[in-house]
């Protein structure tokens, strides 16, 4: 896996997604496929794209959301009426998934450089966007999360063609491994599985390219688990 084929590029500005307790919910999750041949990619966004709540969405570690187009066959098989663009991705790709993509993978995209920073953790806005609240546990259970990219070098990017892998740390965890340690319940693991879980968790929090917000949450979970074991 040295290339990611581009299946489509999607952008959108914040809009009213729905209402909660009578108040409008703003979100940038609703995106449309761009008809442009090229877009400018800054350190935080593709041209034409933006986020509503920057405390949890967007920013340098979540500049671009990439998602495997192949996953939509699984969503349809699970009775979700979804198609590329439905989960709010910017970059729909072919040729890799969470089991093959690693934190810190660096890709050339046009004259830009992008780096894998963390998995996507679904929030309630995904349920509002798809009108299916059950998509949130379904994404967690299936591991069809996609991943975020930070921009190491801004530039002009094509909306067709491919991204090329130029750097990888084989010791870095995959997106699937991060999802496992983020959502698995260690209480359900036997001694051997628990030891493997802890080894993976320690390796993950040390990955240099892991987004700091994600690292902080994972480190807290690991500290609480080890404190319980010690007590």
Q: What is the pLDDT of residues 117-146, one digit of tens each?
A: 999 999 999 999 999 999 999 999 999 999
Q: Are residues 68 and 180 in the same domain?
A: no
Interval 85-124: pLDDT, tens = 999 999 999 999 999 999 999 999 999 999 999 999 999 9
Radius of gyration of the chain, Cα coordinates, nearest whole angstrom:
18
Question: Distance between CA atoms of 51 and 60, rounded to whole angstroms?
Answer: 12
Q: Are residues 163 and 179 in the same domain?
A: no
Q: Are residues 72 and 8 in the same domain?
A: yes
Interval 200-221: pLDDT, tens = 999 999 999 999 999 999 999 9
Is the confidence at residue 1, as pLDDT, over 70? no
Domain of residue 207 covers 175-230
Q: Are residues 65 and 124 in the same domain?
A: yes
Mean pLDDT over 19-33 rounds to: 96
Q: What is the pLDDT of residue 225?
A: 83
Q: Are residues 150 and 202 in the same domain?
A: no
Q: Which of 146, 167, 188 is the last residue of a domain?
A: 167
Q: Are residues 33 and 130 in the same domain?
A: yes
The closest of 165, 124, 122 to 142, measured between CA atoms, is 122
Q: Are residues 132 and 212 in the same domain?
A: no
Q: Are residues 161 and 194 in the same domain?
A: no
Q: Specify which residues 109 forms β-bridges with.
A: 112
26-36: b or e for each residue (b if 16 or more CB lie within 10 Å)? Answer: ebbbbbeebee
């Amino acid at each position: 896996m040295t290339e990611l084929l581009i299946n489509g590029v999607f952008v959108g500005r914040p809009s009213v997604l729905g209402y909660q307790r009578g108040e409008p919910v703003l979100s940038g999750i609703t995106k449309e496929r761009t008809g442009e041949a090229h877009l400018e990619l800054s350190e935080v966004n593709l041209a034409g794209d933006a986020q509503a709540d920057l405390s949890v969405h967007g920013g340098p570690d979540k500049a671009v959301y990439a998602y495997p187009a192949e996953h939509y066959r699984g969503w349809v098989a699970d009775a979700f009426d979804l198609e590329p663009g439905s989960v709010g991705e910017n970059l729909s790709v072919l040729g890799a998934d969470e089991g093959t993509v690693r934190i810190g993978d660096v890709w050339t995209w046009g004259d830009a450089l992008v780096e894998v920073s963390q998995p996507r953790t679904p929030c309630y806005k995904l349920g509002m966007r798809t009108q299916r609240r059950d998509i949130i546990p379904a994404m967690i259970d299936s591991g069809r999360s996609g991943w975020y990219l930070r921009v190491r070098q801004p530039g002009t990017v094509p909306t067709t063609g491919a991204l090329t892998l130029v750097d990888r740390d084989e010791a870095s965890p995959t997106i699937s491994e991060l999802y496992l340690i983020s959502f698995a319940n260690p209480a359900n693991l036997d001694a051997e599985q628990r030891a493997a879980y802890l080894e993976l968790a320690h390796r993950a929090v040390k990955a240099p390219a892991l987004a700091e917000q994600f690292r902080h949450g994972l480190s807290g979970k690991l500290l609480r688990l080890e404190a319980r074991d010690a007590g």
